[in-house]
């Protein structure tokens, strides 16, 4: 198995994913609505969740993770099924599970509860 992804790569990937979700949201609802409607932040969260879930299941990582060379797999090395990727993403959206992690591996509760891990890609 490859090494677990570093925090630097994980945070970089999260920043890229959030920026991409924000840009897509602005493209969908327009800059005026995004700037003036406080509920537009929920649209960003929805776009983020959709992007992360689908790409994790199909490509082994979100847009940001693929750029950061991070791959999300089950602990036995298989791709995550769509429902497992959805559960993992929803736990990330709650924010607290990723902040409670196992030292050494960096696997947060979202990974522990879904039997997954973020690995560095060569």
pLDDT tens for the 122 residues of the chain, in order:
679 999 999 999 999 999 999 999 999 999 999 999 999 999 999 999 999 999 999 999 999 999 999 999 999 999 999 999 999 999 999 988 778 877 788 898 999 999 999 999 88
Cα–Cα distance for residue pair 32/98, rounded to 1 Å:
32
In-domain check, residue 2: no
Answer yes or no: is 25 within a domain. yes
d(CA 45, CA 18): 8
In a domain, 68, yes or no: yes
What is the C-alpha radius of gyration for the chain, rounded to an integer number of angstroms? 14
Is residue 62 situated within a structural domain? Answer: yes
Can you give the pTM of this predicted structure?
0.91
Q: Which two tokens stand for residue 48?
A: 């983020």
The total number of structural domains in the chain stands at 1
Domain of residue 89: give its range.
Answer: 7-120
In a domain, 37, yes or no: yes
């Amino acid at each position: 198995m490859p090494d677990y992804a570093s925090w630097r790569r994980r945070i970089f990937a999260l920043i890229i994913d959030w920026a991409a979700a924000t840009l897509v949201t602005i493209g969908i609802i327009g800059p005026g609505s995004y700037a003036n409607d406080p509920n537009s932040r929920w649209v960003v969260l929805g776009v983020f969740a959709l992007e992360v879930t689908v790409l994790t299941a199909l490509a082994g990582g979100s847009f940001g993770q693929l750029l950061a060379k991070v791959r999300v797999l089950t602990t036995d090395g298989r791709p995550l099924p769509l429902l497992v990727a959805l559960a993992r993403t929803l736990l990330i959206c709650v924010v607290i599970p990723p902040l409670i992690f196992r030292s050494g591996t960096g696997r947060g509760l979202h990974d522990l509860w879904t039997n997954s891990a973020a690995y560095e890609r060569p």
